[in-house]
């Protein structure tokens, strides 16, 4: 039925099978859209957030997907700026993942902030001293860059290529990709950092507050490095997952190995910096604010196990696996370590968002608990469904993995 | 400086932040506008075919992009980076000189695996042949390998006399069962006359120069290893996924491959051999 839209030389499932695959995701997306409508039309009382627990599942989702979506900027940086040509095998996929993550985050942020018709206020009335302004500006600019980078992938479709204007535009867009990759790297550095800096400047939350390095708190740099570590792992993991689902080899094993190596090195740097930062915080920053650090871990729900899991189990362990050439060569180790890396970064963002807000800071404060409402969960799942839909459609109708044809019969 | 920013003040914070922001916006929009402007210029100055070929060549399977000198065994591994236009390749003359110094007489008994590939013709990697007529014109047709892939087409869409063809641009199309297959033009020139499959040739073309530029076309001793290379690709494409390389059975290529393999998606299957991305 849609065979004339499928790239030549690639094998795809029948249209019926494809419909069966996307229908449940479309239904999930529909439920999420309804939940978003409720929140936008009636207000945030549909959520379980309140004035004291103002950052919930959605902000956690935003931070997580933006960290995982960093594969787009970091892969682009390695390919176009550092000329690591082997990454051309996954750059399209990384861009699509980035676009999904960032657009999903922006949509959820719009629902969270509310009043989407006034979204332009943040550009018209910028508070140049706010980390959030930097995040907003960089995020929207980078989303624009990702949309432009996505355009040639869509224009690769064989039917669209029949149109000379599209063909010529695609041809020329490829030439400006290094410029866009450079801009993307610049923007990503700042918004990833500012998202971290957002927590580091919270003087009223000593659990998150950090000393400044230059004009930024240490969390600024930790978020940049951790995103650069998680991004390649997420690209690696999704590519492997797509291979498993489609039962096709899409990229050569060397590409997986290289992504794993890059992720491992960045993760090792991150774990070192995080360990130093934690030690400084335990011994200096937190006591100076009047809070012995281990008081934060007195509750079993957020005990010291969470710190150990974040830094050692899901940080140091996968980093050592990924930097070891011998272990990296074994797929089970490689993919497990990539999964652990992503889980580690997800846990870090959870700790920074949820644990920070849950812990009491004033004498009359109590430990706050929060469980998201169904509308929050549905919106969260809608982003996941949206991602699967966009990725599935792009995979079916464009050449997402240039090596796929070469590897078809292997 | 930033009159459109509400509440702008001449402070370092405002200046730095907004300068960076507008520089980024300027770079991004400038890049897109440049791409749009240049694409319009491209369409005026170049043919869409030339751009399409440049992009599609990169997307062809690696085996389809092997250099002719790798196929003949002159070099162990070399992938073409000149879109099969040896006229612009600086390495090609070196290989030619080496081949001339060590040339061996061709074995007249060595066939082309049951395919008719006359030696008086030059062959394009996209399976069109060219026969220079000596008067500045040349005859163009589809080689036997290509003809067996195409089988019996429902229609052949040939360019009208007067049409200008570009080497590696669209030459003509075959239509079969509602699917359309593009064949690349092997030379630059103007179409003088149309032929037909029954006549054994499809186009008569007057070259742009006094003699057709044919340096990029395969000839003589190159044809046999190239056909072997193409047959290997064909066997590999028809093999089952996951089996890997298997021994050939030694048979000849059937005269109508599509009829022999009715389950194969014809256009998708054939296009890599005709260098269509």
Q: What confidence tier does A300 reach under pLDDT thresholds 50, 70, 90?
A: low
Q: Is A247 on the interface with B (CB under 8 A)?
A: no
Contact across the interface for A176 and B5, Cβ inside 8 Å: no
- A214: Cβ contacts below 8 Å, ≥ 6 apart: none
Alpha carbon of residue A291 to chain centroid: 32
Q: How far apart are CA B74 and CA B101, in angstroms?
A: 13
DSSP string over B194-260: EEETTTTEEEEEEESSSS---TTSB-GGGHHHHHHHHHHHHHHHHSPTTT-------PPPPS-HHHH
Distance from CA of B30 to the nearest CA of A (A): 10
pLDDT of B244 over the 60 cut = no
Whether A65 contacts chain B with CB within 8 A: no
Q: Do B31 and A180 touch (CB under 8 A)?
A: yes
Asked if B3 is an interface residue toward chain A (Cβ–Cβ < 8 A), one would say: no
Phi first, then psi: what are they for B263, rounded to 5°? -80, -10
Q: CB contact, 8 Å: B48 with chain A?
A: yes
Is the CB of A252 inside 8 Å of chain B's CB atoms?
no
Closest alpha carbon within chain B to A174: B35
Surface of B (189-218) touching A: CB under 8 A: none
B34–A406 C-beta distance less than 8 A: no
Q: Give the highest mean pLDDT range of A91-100, A183-192, B165-174, B176-185.
A: A91-100
**What residues of chain B lie within 8 A of the CB of A155, using their CB?**
none
Count contacts between A and B (CB, < 8 Å). 106
Residue of B277, B273, B257 lying closest to B128 (CA atoms): B273
For A166, nearest residue in chain B (alpha carbons): B39
Using 50, 70 and 90 to split pLDDT, how confident is the model at B3?
low
Contact B234, B270 (CB under 8 A): no
Which chain B residues are closer than 8 Å to A405 by Cβ? 59-61, 272
Q: What is the DSSP letter of B6?
A: T
* Structure confidence by residue, pLDDT tens digits, A237-252: 999 999 999 998 999 9
The predicted complex's ipTM stands at 0.81
A327-332, long-range: CB within 8 Å, 24+ apart, which pairs?
Answer: A328/A257, A328/A260, A328/A261, A328/A264, A329/A257, A331/A253, A331/A256
Percent of chain A at pLDDT > 90 equals 63
**Inter-chain CB proximity B271 and A125 less than 8 Å:** no
Q: Please write the tens of the pLDDT for every residue from A60-84.
A: 999 999 999 998 889 999 999 999 9
Nearest to A183 among B28, B38, B54 (CB): B28
* Residue B217 and residue B122 in contact, taking contact as beta carbons nearer than 8 Å: yes
Where would I find the beta strands (DSSP E) of chain B?
Answer: 122-123, 128-132, 137-142, 155-157, 164-165, 170-176, 179-184, 189-196, 201-207
**Contact residues, chain A, for B51 at CB < 8 Å:** 167-168, 171
- Per residue in B25-39, pLDDT (tens digit) is 899 999 999 999 999
Tell me how far apart the alpha carbons of residues B122 and B130 are, in angstroms, rounded to a whole number.
Answer: 5
Strand positions, DSSP E, A155-264: 212-213, 216-217
Closest CA to A176 of B22, B19, B29: B29
Give the minimum alpha-carbon distance from B138 to chain A in angstroms, rounded to a whole number: 29
- Residue B103: which pLDDT band, with cuts at 50, 70 and 90? low
Residue B17 to chain A, least CA–CA distance (Å):
7
Kindly list the residues from chain B whose CB atom is less than 8 angstroms away from the CB atom of residue A126: 5, 17-18
Q: Identify any residues that bridge with B173 across adjacent strands, giving them in sequence order.
A: B157, B182
Cα-based angle B145, B168, B172 (whole degrees, multiple of 5) = 65
Angstrom distance (rounded) from CA A64 to CA A70: 10
- Residue B97 CA, distance from chain mean position: 25
Q: pLDDT by residue (tens digit) across B245-266?
A: 555 566 778 888 888 887 777 7
Torsion sign across C-alpha atoms A327, A332, A338, A339: negative
pLDDT at B5: 67
User: In whole angstroms, what separates CA B65 from the centre of its chain?
Assistant: 9
Whether B1 has a pLDDT exceeding 60, the answer reads no
Read off the pLDDT of residues B45-76 as tens digits, 9 standing for 90 and up. 877 888 888 888 888 878 888 899 998 888 88
Sequence-ordered alpha helix ranges (H) in A286-369: 286-288, 304-308, 317-323, 325-328, 331-350, 356-358
Q: Is B61–A173 a contact, with Cβ atoms under 8 angstroms apart?
A: no
- Test B42 with A172 for CB contact under 8 angstroms: yes
- What pLDDT does B172 receive? 94
Per-residue model confidence (pLDDT) at position B245: 57
Distance (Å, whole) CA A292 – CA A303: 14
Share of chain A above pLDDT 70, in %: 99
Residue A167 is nearest to which of B14, B52, B271, comparing CB atoms? B52
pLDDT score, position A190? 87
Asked if A8 lies within 8 A of B14 by C-beta distance, the reply is no
pLDDT number for residue B97: 84
B6 touches chain A (CB under 8 A): yes
pLDDT tens-digit profile of B107-130? Answer: 655 677 888 888 889 999 999 999
Q: What is the pLDDT of residues A115-156, one digit of tens each?
A: 888 888 887 777 777 888 888 888 889 999 999 999 999 998
pLDDT digits (tens, 9 = 90+) for A307-324: 999 999 999 999 999 999
Cα of A56 to nearest chain B Cα, Å? 29
**3-state DSSP percent of chain B in helix, strand and coil, to 5:** 35, 20, 45
Beta bridge partners of A330: none
Q: Are A218 and A275 in contact (CB under 8 A)?
A: no
Q: Give A131 or A261, the one with higher predicted confidence.
A: A261
- Contact status of B79 with chain A (Cβ, < 8 Å): no
Domain chopping of chain A, boundaries: 3-255+374-407
Calpha distance A344→A346 (Å, rounded): 5
Which residues of B are less than 8 Å from A410 in CB distance? 242, 244
Phi then psi dihedrals of residue A89, to 5 deg? -70, -25
User: What pLDDT sits at residue A410?
Assistant: 44
Asked if B155 and B179 touch (Cβ cutoff 8 Å), the reply is: no
Give yes or no for residue A333 having a pLDDT over 60: yes
B6 close to B18: Cβ distance less than 8 angstroms: no
Q: CA A64 → CA A74, A201, B92, distances in Å?
A: 16, 20, 52
- Tell me the CATH number for domain B116-270: 2.40.50.100
For B74, the enclosing helix (H) or strand (E) is: none
Q: Cβ A168–B48 below 8 Å, yes or no?
A: yes
Assess B21–A contact: CB distance below 8 Å, yes or no.
Answer: yes
**B237 contact residues in A (CB cutoff 8 A):** 409
Interface of A with B in 113-132 (CB under 8 A): 124-126, 128-129
Give Cα separations from A16 to A1, A106, A246, A389 (angstroms).
Answer: 9, 32, 15, 15
Mind telling me how many Å the CA of B19 is from chain A's nearest CA? 12
| Min distance B110 CA to chain A CA atoms (Å) | 30
Average pLDDT over residues A99-108: 94
């Amino acid at each position: 039925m849609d065979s004339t839209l499928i790239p030549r030389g690639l094998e795809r499932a029948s249209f019926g099978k494809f419909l069966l695959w996307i229908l449940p995701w479309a239904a999930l997306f529909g439920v999420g859209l309804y939940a978003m409508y409720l929140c936008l039309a009636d207000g945030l009382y549909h959520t379980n957030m309140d004035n004291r627990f103002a950052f919930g599942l959605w902000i956690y989702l935003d931070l997580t997907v933006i960290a995982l979506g960093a594969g787009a900027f970091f892969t682009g940086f390695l390919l176009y700026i550092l000329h690591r040509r082997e990454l051309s095998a996954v750059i399209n996929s990384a861009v699509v993942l980035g676009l999904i993550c960032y657009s999903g985050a922006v949509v959820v942020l719009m629902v969270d902030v509310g009043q989407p018709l006034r979204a332009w206020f943040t550009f018209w009335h910028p508070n140049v001293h706010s980390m959030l302004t930097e995040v907003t500006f960089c995020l929207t600019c980078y989303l624009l860059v990702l949309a432009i980078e996505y355009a040639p992938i869509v224009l690769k479709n064989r039917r669209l290529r029949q149109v000379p204007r599209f063909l010529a535009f695609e041809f020329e867009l490829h030439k400006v990709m290094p410029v866009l990759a450079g801009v993307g790297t610049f923007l990503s550095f700042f918004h990833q950092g500012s998202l971290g800096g957002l927590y580091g400047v919270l003087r009223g939350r000593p659990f998150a507050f950090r000393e400044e390095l230059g004009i930024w708190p240490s969390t600024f740099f930790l978020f940049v490095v951790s995103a650069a570590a998680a991004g390649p792992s997420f690209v690696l993991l999704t590519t492997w997952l797509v291979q498993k689902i489609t039962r096709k080899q899409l990229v050569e094993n060397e590409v997986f190995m290289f992504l794993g190596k890059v992720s491992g090195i960045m993760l090792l740097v991150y774990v070192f910096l995080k360990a130093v930062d934690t030690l400084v915080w335990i011994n200096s920053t937190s006591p100076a604010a009047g809070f012995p650090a281990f008081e934060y871990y007195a509750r079993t729900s957020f005990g010291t196990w969470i710190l150990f899991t974040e830094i050692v189990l899901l940080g140091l362990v996968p980093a050592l696996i990924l930097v070891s050439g011998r272990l990296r060569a074994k797929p089970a180790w490689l993919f497990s370590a990539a999964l652990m890396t992503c889980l580690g970064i997800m846990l870090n963002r959870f700790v920074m968002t949820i644990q920070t807000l849950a812990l009491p800071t004033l004498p009359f404060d109590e430990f706050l608990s929060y469980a998201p409402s169904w509308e929050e969960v549905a919106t969260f799942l809608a982003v996941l469904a949206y991602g699967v839909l966009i990725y599935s459609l792009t995979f079916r109708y464009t050449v997402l993995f240039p090596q796929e044809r070469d590897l078809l019969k292997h | 400086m930033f009159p459109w920013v509400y509440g702008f003040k001449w402070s370092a914070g405002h200046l730095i932040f907004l300068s960076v922001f507008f520089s980024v916006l300027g770079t991004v929009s400038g890049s897109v506008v440049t791409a749009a402007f240049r694409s319009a210029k491209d369409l005026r100055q170049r043919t869409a075919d030339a751009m399409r070929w440049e992009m599609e060549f990169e997307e062809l399977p690696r085996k389809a992009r092997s250099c002719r000198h790798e196929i003949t065994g002159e070099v162990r591994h070399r992938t073409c980076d000149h879109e099969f236009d040896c006229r612009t390749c600086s390495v090609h003359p070196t290989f030619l000189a080496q081949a001339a110094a060590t040339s061996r007489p061709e074995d007249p008994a060595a066939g082309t695996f049951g395919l008719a590939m006359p030696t008086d013709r030059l062959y394009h990697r996209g399976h069109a042949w060219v026969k220079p007529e000596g008067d500045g014109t040349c005859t163009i047709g589809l080689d036997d390998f290509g003809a067996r892939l195409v089988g019996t087409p429902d229609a052949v869409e040939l360019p009208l006399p007067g049409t200008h063809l570009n080497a590696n641009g669209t030459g003509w199309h075959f239509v079969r069962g509602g699917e359309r297959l593009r064949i690349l033009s092997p030379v630059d020139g103007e179409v003088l006359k149309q032929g037909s499959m029954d006549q054994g040739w499809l186009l008569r073309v007057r070259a742009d120069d006094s003699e057709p530029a044919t340096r990029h076309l395969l000839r003589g001793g190159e044809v046999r290893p190239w056909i072997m290379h193409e047959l290997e690709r064909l066997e590999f494409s028809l093999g089952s996924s996951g089996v890997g390389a298997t021994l050939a059975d030694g048979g000849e290529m059937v005269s109508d491959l599509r009829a022999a393999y009715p389950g194969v998606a014809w256009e998708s299957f054939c296009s890599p051999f005709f260098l269509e991305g």
